[in-house]
Chains A and B, each alone.
Chain A
Amino acid sequence: MVTALVDAREAAERVVDPEMPMLTLADLGVLRRVETAGDGTVVVTLTPTYSGCPALEAMRDDLRAALQDAGYDAVEVRTTFSPPWSTDWISDEGRRKLAEAGVAPPDRIGPKAAGAPIPLTLAPPSQTVACPQCGAADTEEVSRFGPTACTALRRCRSCAEPFEHVKEI
Protein backbone atom coordinates (compact mmCIF):
# COMPACT_ATOMS: atom_id res chain seq x y z
CA MET A 1 0.00 0.00 0.00
CA VAL A 2 1.60 3.21 -1.17
CA THR A 3 0.05 6.64 -0.66
CA ALA A 4 1.30 10.04 -1.78
CA LEU A 5 2.46 12.35 1.00
CA VAL A 6 2.38 16.07 0.47
CA ASP A 7 4.93 17.25 3.01
CA ALA A 8 7.58 14.77 1.93
CA ARG A 9 7.04 15.84 -1.65
CA GLU A 10 7.56 19.47 -0.73
CA ALA A 11 10.76 18.63 1.11
CA ALA A 12 12.03 16.61 -1.85
CA GLU A 13 11.04 19.28 -4.35
CA ARG A 14 13.15 21.90 -2.60
CA VAL A 15 16.41 19.95 -3.03
CA VAL A 16 18.64 21.65 -5.60
CA ASP A 17 20.57 20.13 -8.48
CA PRO A 18 24.24 19.72 -7.49
CA GLU A 19 25.55 20.89 -10.87
CA MET A 20 23.03 23.64 -11.63
CA PRO A 21 22.12 24.81 -8.12
CA MET A 22 19.83 27.56 -9.42
CA LEU A 23 17.37 24.73 -10.19
CA THR A 24 15.49 22.52 -7.77
CA LEU A 25 15.07 18.86 -8.69
CA ALA A 26 11.42 19.72 -9.34
CA ASP A 27 12.41 22.53 -11.75
CA LEU A 28 14.74 20.12 -13.54
CA GLY A 29 11.98 17.54 -13.90
CA VAL A 30 13.98 14.60 -12.55
CA LEU A 31 11.74 13.96 -9.54
CA ARG A 32 9.20 11.41 -10.75
CA ARG A 33 7.39 10.25 -7.63
CA VAL A 34 7.35 10.80 -3.86
CA GLU A 35 5.31 8.16 -2.06
CA THR A 36 4.98 6.65 1.40
CA ALA A 37 5.03 2.88 1.71
CA GLY A 38 2.88 1.00 4.22
CA ASP A 39 5.69 0.90 6.78
CA GLY A 40 6.16 4.68 6.62
CA THR A 41 9.22 4.63 4.38
CA VAL A 42 9.31 7.58 2.01
CA VAL A 43 10.10 6.31 -1.47
CA VAL A 44 11.46 8.89 -3.90
CA THR A 45 11.86 7.98 -7.56
CA LEU A 46 14.40 9.91 -9.59
CA THR A 47 15.29 9.75 -13.25
CA PRO A 48 18.82 10.65 -14.39
CA THR A 49 19.32 13.35 -17.00
CA TYR A 50 22.06 11.38 -18.81
CA SER A 51 22.98 7.69 -18.34
CA GLY A 52 26.31 8.62 -16.82
CA CYS A 53 25.15 11.67 -14.88
CA PRO A 54 27.70 11.94 -12.07
CA ALA A 55 25.34 14.14 -10.05
CA LEU A 56 22.87 11.31 -9.49
CA GLU A 57 24.62 10.02 -6.38
CA ALA A 58 24.81 13.51 -4.90
CA MET A 59 21.08 14.00 -5.61
CA ARG A 60 20.31 10.79 -3.74
CA ASP A 61 22.36 11.86 -0.73
CA ASP A 62 20.82 15.33 -0.71
CA LEU A 63 17.30 13.90 -0.96
CA ARG A 64 17.90 11.54 1.95
CA ALA A 65 19.34 14.36 4.04
CA ALA A 66 16.50 16.79 3.21
CA LEU A 67 13.82 14.24 4.02
CA GLN A 68 15.52 13.25 7.24
CA ASP A 69 15.68 16.92 8.22
CA ALA A 70 11.94 17.11 7.49
CA GLY A 71 11.36 14.30 9.98
CA TYR A 72 11.29 11.25 7.76
CA ASP A 73 13.72 8.68 9.12
CA ALA A 74 13.13 5.92 6.61
CA VAL A 75 13.90 7.10 3.08
CA GLU A 76 14.50 5.09 -0.04
CA VAL A 77 15.66 6.72 -3.27
CA ARG A 78 15.04 4.70 -6.42
CA THR A 79 16.12 5.36 -9.97
CA THR A 80 14.01 4.87 -13.04
CA PHE A 81 15.18 5.17 -16.62
CA SER A 82 11.91 5.01 -18.45
CA PRO A 83 10.53 7.19 -19.86
CA PRO A 84 13.86 8.89 -20.55
CA TRP A 85 14.32 12.43 -19.23
CA SER A 86 13.85 15.23 -21.73
CA THR A 87 14.80 18.90 -21.41
CA ASP A 88 11.11 19.50 -22.18
CA TRP A 89 10.52 18.51 -18.55
CA ILE A 90 12.37 21.57 -17.25
CA SER A 91 9.63 23.81 -15.86
CA ASP A 92 8.90 27.38 -17.01
CA GLU A 93 10.13 28.50 -13.61
CA GLY A 94 13.32 26.50 -14.17
CA ARG A 95 13.84 28.10 -17.58
CA ARG A 96 13.45 31.56 -16.04
CA LYS A 97 15.98 30.72 -13.30
CA LEU A 98 18.49 29.37 -15.84
CA ALA A 99 18.30 32.53 -17.95
CA GLU A 100 18.62 34.67 -14.83
CA ALA A 101 21.79 32.78 -13.88
CA GLY A 102 23.30 33.35 -17.34
CA VAL A 103 22.57 29.89 -18.75
CA ALA A 104 20.55 29.75 -21.96
CA PRO A 105 17.54 27.46 -21.46
CA PRO A 106 16.75 24.69 -23.97
CA ASP A 107 14.14 25.00 -26.72
CA ARG A 108 11.10 22.81 -26.39
CA ILE A 109 11.48 19.95 -28.85
CA GLY A 110 8.24 18.01 -28.43
CA PRO A 111 7.87 14.26 -28.89
CA LYS A 112 10.04 12.61 -31.55
CA ALA A 113 8.60 10.27 -34.14
CA ALA A 114 9.51 6.73 -33.11
CA GLY A 115 10.88 4.15 -35.52
CA ALA A 116 12.30 6.18 -38.39
CA PRO A 117 16.11 6.51 -38.57
CA ILE A 118 17.26 9.71 -36.88
CA PRO A 119 18.50 12.03 -39.64
CA LEU A 120 22.11 13.22 -39.53
CA THR A 121 22.45 16.89 -40.43
CA LEU A 122 25.83 17.91 -41.78
CA ALA A 123 25.14 21.65 -42.04
CA PRO A 124 26.22 23.67 -39.00
CA PRO A 125 23.40 23.87 -36.44
CA SER A 126 21.01 26.64 -37.45
CA GLN A 127 19.42 26.97 -34.03
CA THR A 128 19.14 30.51 -32.66
CA VAL A 129 20.08 30.76 -29.00
CA ALA A 130 19.80 34.23 -27.53
CA CYS A 131 22.65 35.47 -25.36
CA PRO A 132 21.56 35.33 -21.70
CA GLN A 133 23.80 38.32 -20.92
CA CYS A 134 22.78 40.90 -23.53
CA GLY A 135 19.87 39.24 -25.33
CA ALA A 136 21.51 39.34 -28.77
CA ALA A 137 20.49 36.56 -31.16
CA ASP A 138 23.91 36.52 -32.84
CA THR A 139 25.59 33.69 -30.93
CA GLU A 140 27.64 30.68 -32.04
CA GLU A 141 28.24 27.19 -30.74
CA VAL A 142 31.79 26.70 -29.46
CA SER A 143 31.37 23.10 -28.38
CA ARG A 144 28.39 20.81 -28.19
CA PHE A 145 29.79 19.32 -25.00
CA GLY A 146 30.14 21.63 -22.04
CA PRO A 147 31.30 21.48 -18.44
CA THR A 148 28.33 19.31 -17.45
CA ALA A 149 26.64 16.53 -19.42
CA CYS A 150 23.57 18.74 -19.93
CA THR A 151 25.21 21.80 -21.42
CA ALA A 152 26.86 23.02 -24.62
CA LEU A 153 29.27 25.96 -24.78
CA ARG A 154 28.36 29.04 -26.82
CA ARG A 155 29.74 32.53 -27.39
CA CYS A 156 27.93 35.80 -28.07
CA ARG A 157 29.18 37.66 -31.14
CA SER A 158 27.63 40.87 -29.88
CA CYS A 159 28.97 41.21 -26.31
CA ALA A 160 31.71 38.56 -26.78
CA GLU A 161 30.76 36.73 -23.58
CA PRO A 162 30.88 32.92 -23.48
CA PHE A 163 27.90 31.15 -21.94
CA GLU A 164 26.41 27.72 -21.35
CA HIS A 165 23.32 26.41 -23.09
CA VAL A 166 21.25 23.51 -21.78
CA LYS A 167 21.16 21.39 -24.92
CA GLU A 168 17.95 19.77 -26.00
CA ILE A 169 17.50 16.06 -25.48
Chain B
Amino acid sequence: MDTHSPHPGHDENVYDALSTADDDGRWAFGTGFDAGDAEITAPAPEGVDRADVATYCLMLADDALIASQRLAGWTAKAPELEEEVALANIALDLLGQARVLLSRAGHLGAAEPYRVGPQDDEDVLTYFRDDRAFRNVTLAETDLGDFGRTIAWILVFAAWRLALMQRLTGSRDPVLAAVAGKAVKELTYHRDYAAQWVLRLGDGTELSHARMQAGLDGVWPHVEELFLAHDVERRLVEAGVAVDPAELRGDVDAVVAQVLPAATLTRPETPAVGLVGGRGGRDGVHTEALGGVLALMQSLARAHPGATW
Protein backbone atom coordinates (compact mmCIF):
# COMPACT_ATOMS: atom_id res chain seq x y z
CA MET B 1 0.00 0.00 0.00
CA ASP B 2 2.69 2.44 -0.95
CA THR B 3 1.06 5.81 -1.35
CA HIS B 4 2.14 6.95 -4.76
CA SER B 5 0.62 10.07 -6.25
CA PRO B 6 -1.99 9.27 -8.85
CA HIS B 7 -0.57 9.81 -12.31
CA PRO B 8 -1.62 12.92 -14.21
CA GLY B 9 -3.31 10.97 -17.00
CA HIS B 10 -0.83 11.75 -19.75
CA ASP B 11 -0.47 9.31 -22.61
CA GLU B 12 3.19 8.83 -21.86
CA ASN B 13 3.02 7.58 -18.33
CA VAL B 14 6.34 7.41 -16.52
CA TYR B 15 4.92 4.90 -14.07
CA ASP B 16 4.59 2.30 -16.84
CA ALA B 17 8.31 1.82 -16.62
CA LEU B 18 8.02 0.68 -13.03
CA SER B 19 6.32 -2.57 -13.89
CA THR B 20 6.39 -5.01 -16.74
CA ALA B 21 3.28 -6.70 -15.42
CA ASP B 22 0.44 -6.98 -17.87
CA ASP B 23 -2.05 -8.08 -15.26
CA ASP B 24 -4.63 -6.10 -13.33
CA GLY B 25 -4.55 -2.34 -13.71
CA ARG B 26 -2.98 -1.09 -10.55
CA TRP B 27 -4.89 1.11 -8.25
CA ALA B 28 -2.81 4.07 -7.24
CA PHE B 29 -2.40 2.93 -3.68
CA GLY B 30 -1.83 -0.79 -3.83
CA THR B 31 -0.55 -3.65 -5.88
CA GLY B 32 -3.01 -6.50 -5.54
CA PHE B 33 -1.37 -8.52 -2.81
CA ASP B 34 -4.09 -11.09 -2.34
CA ALA B 35 -4.40 -12.16 -5.97
CA GLY B 36 -3.21 -15.75 -6.16
CA ASP B 37 -1.85 -16.10 -2.68
CA ALA B 38 -1.82 -19.66 -1.59
CA GLU B 39 -3.08 -19.38 1.96
CA ILE B 40 -5.25 -16.28 2.00
CA THR B 41 -8.07 -17.96 0.12
CA ALA B 42 -8.37 -20.90 2.51
CA PRO B 43 -11.82 -21.24 4.12
CA ALA B 44 -12.30 -20.45 7.81
CA PRO B 45 -11.56 -23.50 9.96
CA GLU B 46 -14.33 -26.08 10.28
CA GLY B 47 -17.03 -25.10 12.75
CA VAL B 48 -15.70 -21.57 13.34
CA ASP B 49 -17.75 -18.45 12.60
CA ARG B 50 -16.36 -16.80 9.46
CA ALA B 51 -17.24 -13.28 10.64
CA ASP B 52 -15.42 -13.85 13.93
CA VAL B 53 -12.24 -14.93 12.14
CA ALA B 54 -12.54 -11.88 9.85
CA THR B 55 -12.90 -9.59 12.87
CA TYR B 56 -9.94 -11.17 14.63
CA CYS B 57 -7.81 -10.73 11.49
CA LEU B 58 -8.86 -7.07 11.47
CA MET B 59 -7.86 -6.63 15.12
CA LEU B 60 -4.35 -7.96 14.54
CA ALA B 61 -4.09 -6.18 11.18
CA ASP B 62 -5.18 -2.84 12.59
CA ASP B 63 -2.68 -3.05 15.46
CA ALA B 64 0.10 -3.41 12.89
CA LEU B 65 -1.33 -1.01 10.32
CA ILE B 66 -1.82 1.88 12.73
CA ALA B 67 1.49 1.22 14.48
CA SER B 68 3.21 1.21 11.09
CA GLN B 69 1.59 4.49 10.09
CA ARG B 70 2.69 6.06 13.38
CA LEU B 71 6.27 4.85 12.97
CA ALA B 72 6.37 6.09 9.39
CA GLY B 73 5.91 9.56 10.88
CA TRP B 74 9.60 9.43 11.87
CA THR B 75 10.72 9.23 8.26
CA ALA B 76 12.87 12.28 7.51
CA LYS B 77 12.71 13.32 11.19
CA ALA B 78 14.71 10.70 13.14
CA PRO B 79 17.72 11.81 15.19
CA GLU B 80 20.21 9.87 13.04
CA LEU B 81 20.09 8.21 9.65
CA GLU B 82 20.63 4.74 11.17
CA GLU B 83 17.62 5.19 13.47
CA GLU B 84 15.51 6.48 10.63
CA VAL B 85 16.32 3.37 8.62
CA ALA B 86 15.60 1.17 11.64
CA LEU B 87 12.23 2.78 12.37
CA ALA B 88 11.25 2.61 8.71
CA ASN B 89 12.23 -1.08 8.61
CA ILE B 90 10.11 -1.83 11.66
CA ALA B 91 7.21 0.08 10.11
CA LEU B 92 7.62 -1.89 6.88
CA ASP B 93 7.58 -5.26 8.67
CA LEU B 94 4.40 -4.28 10.48
CA LEU B 95 2.82 -3.03 7.26
CA GLY B 96 3.62 -6.38 5.65
CA GLN B 97 1.95 -8.23 8.51
CA ALA B 98 -1.06 -5.92 8.25
CA ARG B 99 -1.44 -6.42 4.50
CA VAL B 100 -1.72 -10.20 4.70
CA LEU B 101 -4.16 -10.00 7.60
CA LEU B 102 -6.28 -7.36 5.87
CA SER B 103 -6.40 -9.49 2.73
CA ARG B 104 -7.45 -12.46 4.83
CA ALA B 105 -10.15 -10.39 6.55
CA GLY B 106 -11.30 -9.21 3.13
CA HIS B 107 -11.44 -12.74 1.79
CA LEU B 108 -13.69 -13.61 4.72
CA GLY B 109 -16.05 -10.75 3.80
CA ALA B 110 -14.87 -7.85 5.98
CA ALA B 111 -14.32 -5.39 3.12
CA GLU B 112 -17.77 -5.55 1.54
CA PRO B 113 -19.53 -2.89 3.66
CA TYR B 114 -16.84 -0.33 2.76
CA ARG B 115 -16.25 -1.01 -0.91
CA VAL B 116 -16.47 2.07 -3.15
CA GLY B 117 -14.86 0.68 -6.30
CA PRO B 118 -12.78 -2.13 -7.71
CA GLN B 119 -9.92 -1.79 -5.22
CA ASP B 120 -8.28 -4.71 -3.45
CA ASP B 121 -9.72 -5.70 -0.11
CA GLU B 122 -6.66 -4.50 1.82
CA ASP B 123 -7.02 -1.03 0.29
CA VAL B 124 -10.75 -0.83 0.94
CA LEU B 125 -10.20 -1.75 4.57
CA THR B 126 -7.28 0.65 5.01
CA TYR B 127 -8.63 3.72 3.28
CA PHE B 128 -12.41 3.58 3.47
CA ARG B 129 -13.24 2.58 7.03
CA ASP B 130 -14.03 5.22 9.63
CA ASP B 131 -12.47 5.25 13.08
CA ARG B 132 -15.27 3.28 14.73
CA ALA B 133 -14.56 0.36 12.39
CA PHE B 134 -10.89 0.13 13.39
CA ARG B 135 -10.21 -2.63 15.92
CA ASN B 136 -6.66 -1.78 17.05
CA VAL B 137 -5.67 -1.47 20.68
CA THR B 138 -5.29 2.18 21.66
CA LEU B 139 -1.54 1.76 22.29
CA ALA B 140 -1.08 1.51 18.51
CA GLU B 141 -2.64 4.92 17.86
CA THR B 142 -0.98 6.97 20.62
CA ASP B 143 1.28 9.85 19.68
CA LEU B 144 4.87 8.60 19.63
CA GLY B 145 6.18 11.85 21.04
CA ASP B 146 9.97 12.08 21.29
CA PHE B 147 12.48 9.35 20.53
CA GLY B 148 12.44 8.10 24.14
CA ARG B 149 8.70 7.60 24.13
CA THR B 150 8.89 5.96 20.71
CA ILE B 151 11.42 3.47 22.04
CA ALA B 152 9.28 2.74 25.13
CA TRP B 153 6.34 2.24 22.80
CA ILE B 154 8.23 -0.18 20.51
CA LEU B 155 9.48 -2.18 23.51
CA VAL B 156 5.97 -2.69 24.90
CA PHE B 157 4.30 -3.19 21.54
CA ALA B 158 6.92 -5.63 20.21
CA ALA B 159 7.15 -7.62 23.46
CA TRP B 160 3.36 -7.97 23.51
CA ARG B 161 2.92 -8.77 19.83
CA LEU B 162 5.82 -11.23 19.91
CA ALA B 163 4.22 -13.10 22.83
CA LEU B 164 0.94 -13.13 20.91
CA MET B 165 2.38 -14.22 17.57
CA GLN B 166 4.46 -16.95 19.15
CA ARG B 167 1.28 -18.54 20.50
CA LEU B 168 -0.64 -17.85 17.30
CA THR B 169 1.70 -20.10 15.29
CA GLY B 170 -0.45 -22.92 16.68
CA SER B 171 -3.74 -21.41 15.42
CA ARG B 172 -6.21 -23.62 13.58
CA ASP B 173 -6.52 -20.87 10.98
CA PRO B 174 -3.78 -21.47 8.39
CA VAL B 175 -3.36 -17.79 7.52
CA LEU B 176 -3.06 -16.64 11.12
CA ALA B 177 -0.53 -19.41 11.78
CA ALA B 178 1.51 -18.50 8.70
CA VAL B 179 1.51 -14.75 9.41
CA ALA B 180 2.54 -15.49 12.98
CA GLY B 181 5.44 -17.69 11.89
CA LYS B 182 6.97 -14.83 9.93
CA ALA B 183 6.03 -12.14 12.44
CA VAL B 184 7.84 -13.90 15.29
CA LYS B 185 11.17 -13.53 13.51
CA GLU B 186 10.57 -9.86 12.70
CA LEU B 187 9.26 -8.87 16.11
CA THR B 188 12.23 -10.47 17.84
CA TYR B 189 14.44 -7.93 16.04
CA HIS B 190 12.07 -5.06 16.90
CA ARG B 191 12.09 -5.98 20.59
CA ASP B 192 15.88 -6.28 20.63
CA TYR B 193 16.27 -2.91 18.94
CA ALA B 194 14.04 -1.20 21.49
CA ALA B 195 15.61 -2.97 24.48
CA GLN B 196 19.11 -1.88 23.43
CA TRP B 197 17.97 1.75 23.17
CA VAL B 198 16.11 1.63 26.51
CA LEU B 199 19.38 0.51 28.10
CA ARG B 200 21.45 3.17 26.37
CA LEU B 201 19.05 6.02 27.14
CA GLY B 202 18.00 4.91 30.63
CA ASP B 203 21.55 4.32 31.76
CA GLY B 204 22.89 7.31 29.81
CA THR B 205 22.89 10.96 30.82
CA GLU B 206 20.58 12.61 33.33
CA LEU B 207 18.57 14.05 30.45
CA SER B 208 18.31 10.82 28.46
CA HIS B 209 17.31 8.97 31.64
CA ALA B 210 14.59 11.50 32.42
CA ARG B 211 13.19 11.41 28.89
CA MET B 212 13.27 7.61 28.73
CA GLN B 213 11.39 7.38 32.03
CA ALA B 214 8.90 9.99 30.85
CA GLY B 215 8.42 8.00 27.67
CA LEU B 216 7.62 4.85 29.63
CA ASP B 217 5.25 6.76 31.90
CA GLY B 218 3.53 8.15 28.82
CA VAL B 219 2.76 4.84 27.13
CA TRP B 220 1.97 2.95 30.34
CA PRO B 221 -1.73 3.88 30.62
CA HIS B 222 -2.33 1.89 27.41
CA VAL B 223 -0.65 -1.31 28.60
CA GLU B 224 -3.51 -2.79 30.64
CA GLU B 225 -5.81 -2.87 27.61
CA LEU B 226 -3.36 -5.24 25.88
CA PHE B 227 -4.39 -8.07 28.19
CA LEU B 228 -8.18 -7.71 27.95
CA ALA B 229 -10.12 -10.19 25.85
CA HIS B 230 -12.94 -9.10 23.53
CA ASP B 231 -15.93 -11.43 23.06
CA VAL B 232 -14.71 -12.37 19.59
CA GLU B 233 -11.34 -13.31 21.03
CA ARG B 234 -12.96 -15.39 23.77
CA ARG B 235 -15.03 -17.36 21.27
CA LEU B 236 -12.02 -17.93 19.03
CA VAL B 237 -9.81 -18.99 21.94
CA GLU B 238 -12.39 -21.71 22.61
CA ALA B 239 -12.22 -22.70 18.94
CA GLY B 240 -8.41 -22.95 18.92
CA VAL B 241 -8.05 -20.02 16.52
CA ALA B 242 -7.08 -17.05 18.70
CA VAL B 243 -4.74 -16.32 21.60
CA ASP B 244 -6.10 -15.28 25.00
CA PRO B 245 -4.60 -11.81 25.64
CA ALA B 246 -4.56 -12.50 29.40
CA GLU B 247 -1.90 -15.17 28.73
CA LEU B 248 0.49 -12.54 27.39
CA ARG B 249 0.93 -10.59 30.60
CA GLY B 250 3.62 -12.88 31.97
CA ASP B 251 5.86 -12.57 28.91
CA VAL B 252 5.50 -8.78 28.77
CA ASP B 253 6.11 -8.43 32.52
CA ALA B 254 9.25 -10.57 32.23
CA VAL B 255 10.68 -8.31 29.53
CA VAL B 256 9.84 -5.19 31.54
CA ALA B 257 11.37 -6.73 34.68
CA GLN B 258 14.53 -7.62 32.77
CA VAL B 259 15.06 -4.35 30.90
CA LEU B 260 13.98 -1.56 33.25
CA PRO B 261 16.26 -2.32 36.24
CA ALA B 262 19.23 -2.86 33.88
CA ALA B 263 18.46 0.57 32.45
CA THR B 264 18.06 2.14 35.95
CA LEU B 265 14.43 2.88 35.15
CA THR B 266 11.39 2.21 37.29
CA ARG B 267 8.18 0.50 36.31
CA PRO B 268 5.60 3.27 35.89
CA GLU B 269 2.69 3.64 38.28
CA THR B 270 0.59 5.71 35.88
CA PRO B 271 -3.01 4.46 35.98
CA ALA B 272 -4.59 2.71 33.01
CA VAL B 273 -6.81 4.77 30.73
CA GLY B 274 -10.40 3.84 31.45
CA LEU B 275 -12.36 1.89 28.94
CA VAL B 276 -15.55 3.68 27.88
CA GLY B 277 -18.38 1.61 29.38
CA GLY B 278 -16.07 -1.43 29.34
CA ARG B 279 -15.35 -0.90 25.65
CA GLY B 280 -11.95 -0.06 24.13
CA GLY B 281 -10.01 -0.15 20.89
CA ARG B 282 -11.07 -3.72 20.07
CA ASP B 283 -14.70 -2.46 20.03
CA GLY B 284 -13.90 0.55 17.87
CA VAL B 285 -13.85 2.94 20.84
CA HIS B 286 -10.67 4.96 20.33
CA THR B 287 -8.80 7.94 21.69
CA GLU B 288 -8.80 11.22 19.78
CA ALA B 289 -5.35 10.35 18.47
CA LEU B 290 -6.71 7.86 15.94
CA GLY B 291 -8.51 10.61 14.02
CA GLY B 292 -5.24 12.32 13.22
CA VAL B 293 -3.60 9.08 12.10
CA LEU B 294 -6.49 8.23 9.81
CA ALA B 295 -6.71 11.74 8.33
CA LEU B 296 -3.10 11.51 7.23
CA MET B 297 -3.35 7.91 6.06
CA GLN B 298 -6.66 8.13 4.21
CA SER B 299 -7.05 11.63 2.79
CA LEU B 300 -5.21 11.05 -0.50
CA ALA B 301 -7.01 7.80 -1.26
CA ARG B 302 -10.36 9.37 -0.46
CA ALA B 303 -9.66 12.37 -2.67
CA HIS B 304 -9.00 10.07 -5.64
CA PRO B 305 -11.13 6.99 -4.99
CA GLY B 306 -10.80 5.50 -8.49
CA ALA B 307 -7.21 6.41 -9.24
CA THR B 308 -4.99 3.85 -10.99
CA TRP B 309 -1.50 3.88 -12.35
A79 to B40, CA, bound (A): 9
Which of B82, B97, B195, B262 lies at the interface centre, i.e. has the most chain A CB atoms within 10 A of its CB?
A: B82
A76 to B37, CA, bound (A): 10
**Contacting pair A52 B86 (CB below 8 A):** no
Scoring A residues 149 to 169 as 1 if CB is less than 8 Å from chain B, else 0, what string do you get?
A: 100010000000000000101
Is residue B102 within 8 Å, beta carbon to beta carbon, of the partner chain? no
A167 to B163, CA, bound (A): 22
A145 to B258, CA, bound (A): 23
Is residue A133 within 8 Å, beta carbon to beta carbon, of the partner chain? no
Query: In whole Å, how far is A9's beta carbon from the nearest beta carbon of chain B?
Result: 18
A80 to B251, CA, bound (A): 29
**Contacting pair B96 A144 (CB below 8 A):** no
Is residue B186 within 8 Å, beta carbon to beta carbon, of the partner chain? yes
A52 to B64, CA, bound (A): 11
Scoring A residues 34 to 58 as 1 if CB is less than 8 Å from chain B, else 0, what string do you get?
A: 0000000000010010111110010
Among B85, B162, B186, the residue within 8 A (CB) of A50 is B186
**Contacting pair B38 A80 (CB below 8 A):** yes
Smallest CB-CB separation from B23: which chain A residue?
A64
Scoring B residues 78 to 93 as 1 if CB is less than 8 Å from chain A, else 0, what string do you get?
A: 0000110110111011
Is residue B238 within 8 Å, beta carbon to beta carbon, of the partner chain? no
Tell me if B's interface is mostly helix, strand, loop or mixed. Answer: helix
Query: In whole Å, how far is B274's beta carbon from the nearest beta carbon of chain A?
Result: 30
Is residue B94 within 8 Å, beta carbon to beta carbon, of the partner chain? yes
Given A51-B93, A81-B181, A143-B85, is A122 in contact with B258 using a C-beta cutoff of 8 Å?
yes
**Contacting pair B36 A76 (CB below 8 A):** yes
Given A61-B21, A145-B193, is A81 in contact with B97 using a C-beta cutoff of 8 Å?
no
Is residue A127 within 8 Å, beta carbon to beta carbon, of the partner chain? no
Chain B residues contacting A52 (CB-CB under 8 Å) are 92-97, 99
**Contacting pair B193 A83 (CB below 8 A):** no
Query: In whole Å, how far is A4's beta carbon from the nearest beta carbon of chain B?
Result: 17
Chain A residues contacting B185 (CB-CB under 8 Å) are 84, 86, 169
Q: What are 9 residue pairs bridging A and B, where the CB atoms are less than 8 Å apart in the complex?
A: A51-B182, A51-B186, A80-B37, A84-B185, A117-B166, A120-B191, A120-B255, A153-B82, A169-B185
Other than the known A52-B93, A80-B37, what 15 A-B pairs have Cβ atoms closer than 8 Å? A50-B96, A51-B183, A52-B96, A77-B36, A81-B39, A81-B182, A82-B39, A82-B174, A84-B182, A86-B185, A120-B258, A122-B262, A142-B82, A169-B185, A169-B186
